[in-house]
Amino acid sequence: MQHLRERGPSAQQTLAELIGVDATNLVAVLNSLEDSGLIERRRDRADRRRAIIALSASGERVLADLDLAMRQLDDEIFAVLTPAERDTFNALLAKAISHIGAECSSPPGDSC
């Protein structure tokens, strides 16, 4: 859902490749999200065989609620840090995370 929010509607196969999940496994997840009203599936007008996945208004609201909950949790956990310390901490975490898999040349879904 986060990929859909950040990048907009996506072809189902492209989404599977982006998140490194087997397309067959992704179908079950997408079915559940669609049944819950969190995403919408529609046919691509240019190629009717291709499904386009988009975040629904309900999905947007759920993600917004999750963002709020995460900010509140961050505020609670990191209350002892000054704003500058939190900025430094977040920058260091982002640097560490960007390093994970940077050396990996395997296709998405394969382990390094």
pLDDT tens-place string over residues 47-70: 888 889 999 999 999 999 999 999
The predicted pLDDT at position 106 comes to 55
What percentage of residues in the chain have a pLDDT greater than 70? 89
CB atoms within 10 A of CB 3: 14
Distance of CA 13 to the CA centre of its chain: 15
Architecture of domain 2-99: Orthogonal Bundle (1.10)
DSSP states of 32-60: HHHHTTSEEEEE-SS-TTSEEEEE-HHHH
Q: Which helix (H) or strand (E) holds 11?
A: strand 10-11
Structural domain boundaries of the chain?
A: 2-99
Q: CA–CA separation, 13 vs 108, rounded Å? A: 13
